[in-house]
Structure 1
Amino acid sequence: MLSAVGLNETQESAYRALVVLGAAEVTDLAHRLALPEADAERALRRLEQQGLAAQSSARSGRWVAAPPAVALGALLTQQRHELEQAELTAALLAEEYRAEAAETAEPAVHDLVEVVTGASAVAHRFLQLQMGAAEEVCALVTGKPVAITPADNETEEQVAGRGVRYRVVLERDALALPFGLTELSAALRREEQVRVVEEVPTKLVVADRSVAMVPLTGRGAEPAALVVHASGLLESLMGLFEAVWREALPLRLDARGKVTEAPAGEPDAADLEILSLLLAGMTDASVAKHLGLGLRTVQRKVKNLMELTGVTTRLQLGWQAYERGWVSRADSGGDLRDGTPSGTSEE
């Protein structure tokens, strides 16, 4: 967890042990961490360089931990400053790149299209697309991965964890891949939206509707991909994704944790329970607490239901839920709020 401030696993373990013990000699620390004394001393020296530990002035040979709030706070502030400087440098380099491209004979091509060649480069660019997403990642996944496989994508959990929405359409053959169902179950538990079709027209990933990546070469050739930035071509690729998405069947986890296909255009039991509680006058926060869900999960499910019914307001969603028979007339006596209803207090 402290790798962000330059500590490896051994150094972090040494610091945590010092925090717990208050003070320790090298031999005691080495024994506690099951390390050679030389390794324990090197870890302490590194902590000393980082301002996280110091030799005790009261007793020779003993080491004490610096207060975490002060020492780690200073390191994190430094890291944030360095990150801001790196972002500024990236922005300046992007400006220089655009200025240079503007002087060439083909500035539009340089700005809008990028060719990535080689399995490692393609996988790295795919990782960058996800890490750079702020709102949504959309993907079409085939059953014949080349440079990227489901098991390779360990970044997805981290990106989804910070609130980025995933919409993924799988080709049915992808479910038979090694780790396919395991990865799929994990994605569904993270509240990612996953659908399945018999065959997708192409592999595709789109981040925030502003950059996309599609394969460039066929079977047998060196893996390559085309990275497309905001343009008419990108809009066409996003339109392709939406068309496939509309035709695909949603995948869900049943009560036993088994992946199942849901009828198109129908909410699941959790969706219906959330709708009923909201229509009864509960707020998003109250529903989340009542069902043991995260607030963001409840809000995401409501947004998905609005997209499913093609409405733009929660009032319209309540009417559609009644018209489609998802809730009873008794349930539809209220409206769907995202704040605190008047005359209602949260428990």
Structure 2
Amino acid sequence: MLGAIGLDERQESTYRALVAVGASDVVDLAHRLALPEPDTEEALRRLERQGLAAQSSSGTGRWVAASPAVALGALLTQHRHELERAELTAVLLAEEYRAEATEPAVHDLVEVVTGASAVAHRFFQLQLSATEEVRALVTAKPTAVNWIDHEAEARAADRGVAYRVVIEREVLSLPAAMTELATVLGRHERVRTTERVPTKLVIADRSLAMVPLTCRGTEPTALVVHASGLLDSLTGLFEAVWREGLPLRLGTDGTVTEGELPGPDTTDLEILSLLLAGMTDASVAKQLDLGLRTVQRRVRGLMELGGVTTRLQLGWHAYEKGWVARERQT
């Protein structure tokens, strides 16, 4: 848990043990940690350099832990400042890059990535760079590169990044497909199936896309497309395929089924009524004793059910479908 501020596993366990006992010599602490005494002493020396431990002023060879509130707080502040400086540097570099490419040449709008590891790494980066939504088309054709990176997908989903994926129906028959689909549906990702997907495709937000360049007898190659008319066309392709797909749903028994989404339930209607009354997502979550992400997930589900892309459209659709009643004018 403390790796984010520079402590390795041994240092963290040593510090935790020292906090628990208050003070200890190397022999007792090594016995408690089941570590060799030299390793324990080395961990203590490193903690000392980071201000987390000190030798007792009594000169008895005992070590004491520094106050977590003070010592860890200082390290957290230091690392927070380092992250802020890194973020500032990233912003400055991005501005410098844009200044040098205010009118990018055609070759600057696309990148050609060659090699299985390079394509996989770029795909991993693309998903981690997303802040709002990742859209993907997945074919059943095997390739040398796995175009579904589950680690990156899980990490992005944990940050609140929405996923919309269309898969070829043949994918459902692949080994372990149902288990993997149950996992992604359990993370409230939206998945649809269709008979044929025209190409593998991944789009991060509205800024980047990846498509494979398949050539027989050559190593895996992919095209990375930056914001441009080409990216708009790829986005339009995805949306067209998405509209034709049938949604996959995760049943209460953990099975994956294909078919139209059910209508809104009571909780959905309560959320919708409160939103239309002008409450924020956070206020709705508090009012109904739900998690914020649960509210946002249900709103996305209502938008999908209504076939709309904005909350304003969802409001009109809700009135048209009778999900909520219009207030009478007095």
Give the TM bin, normalised by the shorter chain. 0.7 to 0.9
Check whether the contact 1:211–1:230 (CA below 8 A) recurs between aligned residues.
Answer: yes
Deviations 1:316-343 (CA, angstroms, capped at 9, x unpaired): 2432442xxxx6xxxx4478xxxxxxxx
Check whether the contact 2:134–2:162 (CA below 8 A) recurs between aligned residues.
Answer: yes
Matched residues in 2 for 1:109 and 1:75: separation?
46
In the alignment, residue 57 of structure 2 is paired with which amino acid? S
Check whether the contact 1:212–1:227 (CA below 8 A) recurs between aligned residues.
Answer: yes
Paired position in structure 2 for 1:338:
none
CA 1:307–1:42: 2 relative to 1, 3 Å: same
Check whether the contact 2:268–2:298 (CA below 8 A) recurs between aligned residues.
Answer: no
**Correspondence list, 1:174-213, <5 A:** 174-213=171-210
**2:146 aligned with 1:148:** yes
Query: Is 50-59 or 284-293 further displaced after alignment?
Result: 284-293
The runs of 5 or more residues in structure 2 that have no matched partner are none
Matched residues in 2 for 1:173 and 1:35: separation?
53
**2:86 aligned with 1:82:** no
1:17 shift after superposition: 2.1
Paired position in structure 1 for 2:24:
24
With normalisation by structure 1, the TM-score equals 0.80
Paired position in structure 1 for 2:262:
267
Check whether the contact 2:271–2:295 (CA below 8 A) recurs between aligned residues.
Answer: no
Q: Secondary structure at the match of 1:168?
A: strand
**Correspondence list, 1:192-271, <5 A:** 192-263=189-260, 266-267=261-262, 271=264
Q: Secondary structure at the match of 1:115?
A: strand
Paired position in structure 1 for 2:60:
60
**2:291 aligned with 1:294:** yes
In the alignment, residue 10 of structure 2 is paired with which amino acid? T
1:276 to 245, 269, 272: 269
Paired position in structure 1 for 2:134:
137
> Cα RMSD (Å) of the superposition?
2.9
Q: Secondary structure at the match of 2:60?
A: coil
With normalisation by structure 2, the TM-score equals 0.84
Q: Secondary structure at the match of 1:139?
A: strand
1:236 shift after superposition: 0.5
1:231 shift after superposition: 0.2
1:166 shift after superposition: 1.1
In the alignment, residue 66 of structure 1 is paired with which amino acid? A
**2:25 aligned with 1:9:** no
In the alignment, residue 296 of structure 1 is paired with which amino acid? R
Check whether the contact 1:274–1:287 (CA below 8 A) recurs between aligned residues.
Answer: no
In the alignment, residue 267 of structure 1 is paired with which amino acid? P
The runs of 5 or more residues in structure 1 that have no matched partner are 336-347
Matched residues in 1 for 2:273 and 2:235: separation?
37
Q: Secondary structure at the match of 1:154?
A: helix
Matched residues in 2 for 1:96 and 1:279: separation?
44
Check whether the contact 1:117–1:225 (CA below 8 A) recurs between aligned residues.
Answer: yes
1:197 shift after superposition: 1.9
**Correspondence list, 1:310-329, <5 A:** 310=308, 312-313=311-312, 315-322=315-322
In the alignment, residue 13 of structure 1 is paired with which amino acid? S
Q: Secondary structure at the match of 1:235?
A: helix
Q: Secondary structure at the match of 1:146?
A: coil
Paired position in structure 2 for 1:73:
73
1:96 shift after superposition: 5.3
